[in-house]
Amino acid sequence: MLNAALQGACAPSASRDASAPIGLIGAGSLGAAIGLRLLGCQGSLVAWNRSPARLAPLAAAGVQVATTVTALARRATVIVVCLSDADAIRAVLLDGSVDWSRLSHRLVLNTSTIGAEASEALEADFAAAGVDYLDMPVSGGPEGAASGTLAVYVGDVRAHQGIVGRLVSALAGRVIRCKSNQDAQRLKVLNNLCEAINLWGAAEAIALGRQLGLSLDDLQEGLTGGRGDSRYLRVLLEHLRTAPEHVAVSMAIRTKDLQLAERLAGTPGSLPPLARLTKSLFDEAGEALGTFVDQCECLSYLTDGGAEARRVQTAATAGSAAA
């Protein structure tokens, strides 16, 4: 259930225009799913993306498209950001192209995992620009966004309970309230570390099962429901069954999150043993497969050395170059 302090405060803040559309920056797999969910629940959305072609599915669904970040910020008093990392957020919103001094009562909500240090720096820089900033990194992937069942780590929400409650009620199945933006990021990085360890462990079990001649149905029946079950075991089995063409979470995102975990631990190489091993394994897989492929292709890396994933990566890269 939603935290009562958020659930009971779903009216927009009085300092903001309740009729203004919500802004969305970033239309990757997760961003697009968040956008479609917000459109269905909130009714009005304006979006911008560095690659305009990625906005086509949103536009077809009725999302308004902004040609520049400034145009979006003029229309939307609340801007949801779903970009790859802190550098991308800074490049898009704090590069000087948006004159925030001419825009009042803007709130930037960051759904991305960027780590505590970057969060603190962005918070200070947005404050200097006169913009309110709140971290609300999410867990659950595009499928969780589409169904409104994301886990959302929310920073200190006291000044913005109304609008945050309204958006979280559309996106979240669970809300983790945190004392600060930095705590929200620390907990999200730790969550992602658990994801990575569970993902690689489940991939090894599935790969070994396939080598032993067990069918996908055998693995589905025998591995789910017991104490060895996990969310990522099911994600991997579904990935095998459906062979989706889209990338839900890229290998680049997974390795970035593990780098953030290492930074959280203090110094390079200071992760605990299992986390350190998991990071090295994903680093190897990412180097072999490339950054474009889905993280679930670690299964391909374990079973055939990633030959098929590399073929997909090469085809996708060639297609991007031709576009």
- 3 versus 188: the higher-pLDDT residue is 188
Mean predicted confidence (pLDDT) in 9-29: 69
Q: Does the structure show a pLDDT above 50 at 8? A: no
For domain 4-179, give its CATH number from 3.40.50.620, 3.40.50.720, 3.30.1050.10, 3.10.20.310. Answer: 3.40.50.720
Choice among 38-52, 155-169, 274-288 with the minimum mean pLDDT: 155-169
- For position 77, what pLDDT does the model report? 95
Beta bridge partners of 145: none
CATH domain 186-322 topology = N-(1-d-carboxylethyl)-l-norvaline Dehydrogenase; domain 2 (1.10.1040)
Share of the chain above pLDDT 70, in %: 89
Share of the chain above pLDDT 90, in %: 80
Could you tell me if 26 and 83 are in contact, meaning their C-beta atoms sit under 8 angstroms apart?
A: yes
| Per-residue model confidence as pLDDT tens digits over 98-108 | 999 999 899 99
Could you tell me if 237 and 210 are in contact, meaning their C-beta atoms sit under 8 angstroms apart?
A: no
* Sequence letter at residue 102: R
Domain boundaries, the chain: 4-179, 186-322
Could you tell me if 299 and 211 are in contact, meaning their C-beta atoms sit under 8 angstroms apart?
A: no
**pTM across the whole model:** 0.88
Indicate the pLDDT class of residue 4, thresholds 50, 70 and 90: very low
Torsional sign, CA 286, 54, 118, 96: positive
Compute the mean pLDDT over every residue in the chain, rounded to the nearest whole number.
90
**Of 252, 248, 298, 264, which is closest to residue 85 (Cα–Cα)?**
252
Q: Does the structure show a pLDDT above 90 at 313? A: no
Strand 150-154 to 45-48 pairing:
unpaired
| Per-residue model confidence as pLDDT tens digits over 77-89 | 999 999 999 999 9
**Of 248, 273, 271, which is closest to residue 259 (Cα–Cα)?**
271
Tokens of 303: 């079973």
What is d(CA 182, CA 176) in angstroms, rounded to the nearest whole number? 13
What is d(CA 194, CA 199) in angstroms, rounded to the nearest whole number? 8
Mean predicted confidence (pLDDT) in 107-130: 97
